[in-house]
Amino acid sequence: MTKIVGVSGSLRSGSLNGALLRAAVDLMPAGAELELGTIKGIPLYDGDLEQSEGIPAPVALLKEQIAVADALLLVTPEYNNSIPGVFKNALDWLSRPAADSARIFSGRRVAVIGASPGGFGTILAQNAWLPVLRTLGMEPWFGGRLMVSRAGKVFNESGELVDEQVRDQLREFNRKFVEFLRN
């Protein structure tokens, strides 16, 4: 069984990226599992907090989810043409302590997708993740991109994916990503 941990970079309960991640869970190919991770509850990174209290429980939980997975799927919003601060902050915490960063990230395969209410999808946020992933020593998959634009129209008010074309694109993205992981 191929195991992927998926994390949405939005804290909002009605997040389009959270909806995209939940849809991806249902569209995984046979023999693959997409487990939901969360950045909820992760505080702003503070070296003093790390030194005095250690790694916060939500960070430790997500670290262990990722450590036992075959890959990571980042589902990124795009805020002001870049990475959401809360999402980057979560990865900063996940890389602590520095001695543990390699266990979580080094050589770990990763893909990035995203949804946006705008017309350009999340191309700039996805591109902005590349230096971060490189710095962490991850192995990004470049075999496909999924940038859902005008995402407010592809999900209904309950957050269900209702656009068949986007559903097919997500299913195919998942299939190819899993195929990459199995090679």
Could you report the per-residue pLDDT of 81-90, keeping only the tens digit for each? 999 999 999 9
The reported pLDDT for the residue numbered 179 is 97
Residue that the structure tokens 């986007």 belong to: 166
CATH of the domain at 69: 3.40.50.360
pLDDT beyond 90 at 55: yes
**Dist CA 139 CA 24 (whole Å):** 20
The whole-chain average pLDDT of the chain stands at 97
Report pLDDT digits (tens) over 118-170.
Answer: 998 999 999 999 999 999 999 999 988 999 999 999 999 999 999 999 999 99
The reported pLDDT for the residue numbered 6 is 98
The reported pLDDT for the residue numbered 24 is 98
Contact 86, 93 (CB under 8 A): no
pTM of the entire structure?
0.97
Find the mean pLDDT for residues 1-30.
97
Contact 6, 25 (CB under 8 A): yes
Domain ranges, residue 71: 2-182
**Dist CA 109 CA 128 (whole Å):** 17
Contact 136, 98 (CB under 8 A): no
The reported pLDDT for the residue numbered 144 is 87
Look at the chain and report how many structural domains it folds into. Answer: 1
Q: What CA–CA distances, in Å, run from 143 to 91, 93, 134, 137?
A: 23, 28, 17, 18
